[in-house]
Structure 1
């Protein structure tokens, strides 16, 4: 699990890492940042994502709430945990869907309680899809994935922001996905049911997704082989949700 710690107080950063590594057998991967600018620059430079962000609200240069807003522009699934000197910013914190809001001084008990809840949430939600391309590992929230299209050896994983590439086979892709929410519509396509707007003849029309190249609503093909399975699964999905 990758965790980003952002605070211009290096002592505070060190305490959080020490608590977590001391009390958990699981190995966490920590990255430390002393400012919003450094964290955002690193994320975009190496194209990485974190499962959890610990963010100090009272940083000298930028309020931690501003950083959280920036993170939410490209990552809706990550857990954001604020650390603050008071509860003054608490109402604002939850506008960016903060997972928790910790008041200094931090105690081991409170920090570990928060981490246990975070770990259980991430494990239960089964929200992440990991893959590699050109020796780089990428982790996406499953909610980010609109559809996956296979073309030759390459699979294109489409999100709102971009299409990622991987050499995973279709079988490997399906093994990694939560099949309560993903379904094959065609030998070369897997679709996230959350994005289905309408099923018309041999196409699925996706909602809230624009094809930026054609300025049109995106449609995914349905082959005869998978049509009945798609309709059946989509009905179950609607009844469940």
Structure 2
């Protein structure tokens, strides 16, 4: 797992570095940056992305929101955790889909909680969906799945890496998925809630720009379940 800290306050950056260095999890790599420009330069020069980014919002040059917009273009699945002492910024950053917020002064207890949630998220999304296509057994990680579309006895699986068609029913597919991550919005559609940008009364807008219909039958269910998912994301 690759972690980046982008923080111009030396005291906060040192605290974050000490915390990450003391983590007992295996295969942790981390980098510390003092500006968004430095982070972006490193990502471009080394051609790398990070699984988790701790991002200060107010920094000289490119601020944390602008830097996160660049990160989000490169990696739709990165977990961006904003560090700020200005709570009003919470309402300005949702276009870059943050995972959590840490309010300064950052405490070890707050970091313990946010890292616990991050690992839970990775464990959830690394589960695998199995299916058969032309008698061949295939598998796709949950975090690569965008949505399923059913049409009679066929299902189309749309992923970040392409599309697959296989025989089956949406009612059968939903039983194989983790209900903490996937949401049925229509008799013909199941979506990965991590891929949702916005929900209105009758449609779901995905991060990719695709819109999918919410049937009247599922509207209240969709609203309630997505609220619970977002509450879990923001604990």
Q: TM-score, normalised by structure 1?
A: 0.58
Whole-Å separation in 2 of the counterparts to 1:184 and 1:10: 53
The 5 Å alignment of 1:116-155 reads: 116-126=116-126
Decide whether the 8 Å contact of 1:193 with 1:237 is kept in 2.
Answer: no
Decide whether the 8 Å contact of 1:184 with 1:190 is kept in 2.
Answer: no
Structure 1 residue 100, shift from structure 2 partner: 1.1
Decide whether the 8 Å contact of 2:55 with 2:64 is kept in 1.
Answer: yes
User: What CA RMSD, in Å, does the superposition of the two structures yield over aligned residues?
Assistant: 3.4
Structure 1 residue 17, shift from structure 2 partner: 1.7
1:57 to 2:57 alignment: yes
Partner of 1:25: 24
Decide whether the 8 Å contact of 1:83 with 1:103 is kept in 2.
Answer: yes
C-alpha deviations, 1:148-180, integer Å up to 9, x for none?
A: xxxxxxxxxxxxxxxxxxxxxxxxxxxxxx234
Structure 1 residue 26, shift from structure 2 partner: 1.3
Q: Alpha carbons of 1:185 and 1:47: their partners in 2 closer, same or farther (altered >3 Å)?
A: farther
Structure 1 residue 55, shift from structure 2 partner: 0.4
C-alpha deviations, 1:107-150, integer Å up to 9, x for none?
A: 111111111111111112217xxxxxxxxxxxxxxxxxxxxxxx
**Aligned residue pairs: how many?**
172
Q: Flag structure 2 segments of 5+ consecutive residues without an equivalent.
A: 178-189, 191-235
Secondary structure of 2:32's match? strand
Q: Alpha carbons of 1:198 and 1:63: their partners in 2 closer, same or farther (altered >3 Å)?
A: same
Whole-Å separation in 2 of the counterparts to 1:120 and 1:205: 28
- Structure 1 or 2, whichever has the larger Rg, is 1
Whole-Å separation in 2 of the counterparts to 1:207 and 1:18: 41
Q: TM-score, normalised by structure 2?
A: 0.59
C-alpha deviations, 1:171-210, integer Å up to 9, x for none?
A: xxxxxxx234x654576987777466687xxx9988799x
Structure 1 residue 80, shift from structure 2 partner: 0.5
